[in-house]
Structure 1
Amino acid sequence: MRVAVLADIHGNVLALDAVLRDLDRRGGADITVNLGDSVSGPLWPRETMERLEGLALPTVRGNHDRRVAVDPVNDDMWPSDRYARERLTQAQRAALFAQPLTLEIAPGVLAFHARPDHDEEYLADAVVDGQLVRAPIADIRRRLGNPGHRIVLCGHSHRGELISLPGGPVIFNPGSVGCPAYDDDTPPAHVSEQGSPHARYGIVKLAGEAGNRDRFEAVAVDYDHEAAARQAERAGRPEWAHALRTGFMPR
């Protein structure tokens, strides 16, 4: 069985379409799972939501999906969430909130956005000198608990990771489809940077017959990131535009 793994689209329908075309070129997948944070961002939230509605992918709820759906619109609302909320219908916001926190998408394979028990806390990351880096294995194990699965699929950090914990499970984060870098001023303030503007996704080939092994592929796809950057500029978000063009936050 082939599983395509999408995460953190953030309203970038151009990147999403490029990923879907690339996946089709590679022979498609038996299941394509969306790990959440689908629409928040100064790009094309309504168009992205409509595309995803047509695909009807198994999807888990991300922290920004929750915020777009239920946070009150006021000065404290994060700008990307406000931008998306104002462009979605009430029914679309309700659909975002109704998405589950976790999904078992195949026997032994668990999908969630950030952690199994929380949509906004990092699983495999720590903040060091203002940057996200891989957390110590003991911390990852404690945060994960014992999910009872051989593979867990997660997003949230926008950092591609493949970590085989001693005794299992394997943790796979494909990186972000549509947002290659971000800053977060939640203490401790930090940035996450993929280091290039490519749209990222993953493919997992699950072991079938006895003796076969699970296989993981991280994919980076070129697309018209300049058009996405110009859209961010039109929305008044120059830092997003810089991130979309470079994969880094402005210095």
Structure 2
Amino acid sequence: MRIAVLADIHGNVLALDAVLDDLKRRGGADITVNLGDCVSGPLWPRETMDRLRALGLPTVRGNHDRRVAQDPADDTMWPSDRYAKERLTSAQRQALLDLPLTLEIAPGIVAFHSRPDHDEKYLADAIVDGQLVRAPLAAIRRRLKPLDPGCRLVLCGHSHRNELIRIPDGPVIFNPGSVGCPAYDDDTPPAHVSEQGSPHARYGIVELRDGHPGRFEAIVVDYDHEAAAKQAEQAGRPEWAHALRTGFMRIERSSYPD
């Protein structure tokens, strides 16, 4: 079984199309899973929803999917969520809200956006000096406790950071990175950034052998990120434009020595 894994598209339909074209060139997959955060961002939310609806992918709900569907909107709604909400139909917003928190893709293979019991808390990350870093093994184990002991493979997103972690006597965790948003700044205390360091679209492929994960590919795809950056600029979001062009945020939250 060959599983393609997409996460954190964030309304970047250009990056999504590039990933789908690349997957087709590689021979496709038996199943393609979408790990949520589909449309939030100053790009093409409605076009992305239309594309995803046509694909009919198994999809879990991300924190921004929930926030975009928030009704009524209020002053606490983040700008990227509000931008998407205003451009989606009520049916599209409801479709996001109806997505499940977790999905069992196959026996022992579980997909979720962030954690098995929460759509907004990090699974494999900690915040140190304003940056996301690998969390201690003991912390990751605790966060996995809601899973069935027979789980062999966890597919998750949220951090936008590619990760492959084998938990001793536990599952393998695979995060493919973000399709459409290579860097972000989160002001939620403690404030932090996530930066992939390049503008490429990212996704992953997992090959199962006798029902067990046997081979992983973390794939990086070039696309017209300049067009995406210009779209963000037109929407009045220069920080998004910078992230889309570079994979970095302009703001520096770390205090590491030279």
TM-score category, normalised to shorter length: over 0.9
Superposition deviation, residue 72 in structure 1: 3.0
Report the counterpart of residue 206 of structure 2 in structure 1.
Answer: 204
Superposition deviation, residue 76 in structure 1: 1.4
Superposition deviation, residue 147 in structure 1: 3.1
Runs ≥4 residues deviating over 2 A: none
User: What SS class does the counterpart of residue 163 from structure 1 fall into?
Assistant: strand
Please say if residues 71 and 77 of structure 1, whose CA atoms lie closer than 8 Å, have aligned partners that are also in contact: no
Matches within 5 A, 1:132-151: 132-145=132-145, 146-148=147-149, 149-151=151-153
Report the counterpart of residue 193 of structure 1 in structure 2.
Answer: 195
Matches within 5 A, 1:74-153: 74-145=74-145, 146-148=147-149, 149-153=151-155
Query: In structure 1, how many angstroms separate the alpha carbons of the residues matched to 2:4 and 2:72?
Result: 34
Query: In structure 2, how many angstroms separate the alpha carbons of the residues matched to 1:29 and 1:208?
Result: 17
Query: In structure 1, how many angstroms separate the alpha carbons of the residues matched to 2:15 and 2:155?
Result: 20
Please say if residues 208 and 214 of structure 2, whose CA atoms lie closer than 8 Å, have aligned partners that are also in contact: yes
Query: In structure 1, how many angstroms separate the alpha carbons of the residues matched to 2:243 and 2:213?
Result: 36
Query: In structure 1, how many angstroms separate the alpha carbons of the residues matched to 2:27 and 2:213?
Result: 20
Query: In structure 1, how many angstroms separate the alpha carbons of the residues matched to 2:250 and 2:213?
Result: 41
Q: Percent identity?
A: 81
Report the counterpart of residue 185 of structure 2 in structure 1.
Answer: 183
Aligned CA distance change for structure 1 residues 36 and 213 (closer, same or farther; 3 Å)? closer
Report the counterpart of residue 56 of structure 1 in structure 2.
Answer: 56
Structure 2: 5+ residue stretches without partners: 252-258
User: What SS class does the counterpart of residue 206 from structure 1 fall into?
Assistant: strand
Match of 1:161 among 163, 185, 189: 163
Is 1:243 aligned with 2:211? Answer: no
Aligned CA distance change for structure 1 residues 5 and 213 (closer, same or farther; 3 Å)? closer
Per-residue CA distance 1:14-65 (angstroms, 9 max, x = gap): 0000000000000000000000000000000000000000000000000000
User: What SS class does the counterpart of residue 83 from structure 2 fall into?
Assistant: helix
Please say if residues 115 and 123 of structure 1, whose CA atoms lie closer than 8 Å, have aligned partners that are also in contact: yes
Aligned CA distance change for structure 1 residues 58 and 213 (closer, same or farther; 3 Å)? closer
Which residue identity lines up with residue 204 of structure 2 in the other structure? G
Query: In structure 2, how many angstroms separate the alpha carbons of the residues matched to 1:2 and 1:102?
Result: 20
Is 1:47 aligned with 2:47? Answer: yes
Please say if residues 42 and 237 of structure 2, whose CA atoms lie closer than 8 Å, have aligned partners that are also in contact: yes
Superposition deviation, residue 74 in structure 1: 2.3
User: How many matched pairs?
Assistant: 249
Please say if residues 130 and 188 of structure 1, whose CA atoms lie closer than 8 Å, have aligned partners that are also in contact: yes
Which residue identity lines up with residue 92 of structure 2 in the other structure? Q
User: What SS class does the counterpart of residue 191 from structure 1 fall into?
Assistant: strand
Superposition deviation, residue 75 in structure 1: 2.0
Superposition deviation, residue 144 in structure 1: 1.1
Query: In structure 1, how many angstroms separate the alpha carbons of the residues matched to 2:187 and 2:72?
Result: 20
Which residue identity lines up with residue 134 of structure 2 in the other structure? R
Please say if residues 232 and 238 of structure 2, whose CA atoms lie closer than 8 Å, have aligned partners that are also in contact: yes
Query: In structure 2, how many angstroms separate the alpha carbons of the residues matched to 1:194 and 1:182?
Result: 9
Which residue identity lines up with residue 147 of structure 1 in the other structure? D
Report the counterpart of residue 222 of structure 2 in structure 1.
Answer: 222
Structure 1: 5+ residue stretches without partners: none
Please say if residues 195 and 249 of structure 2, whose CA atoms lie closer than 8 Å, have aligned partners that are also in contact: yes
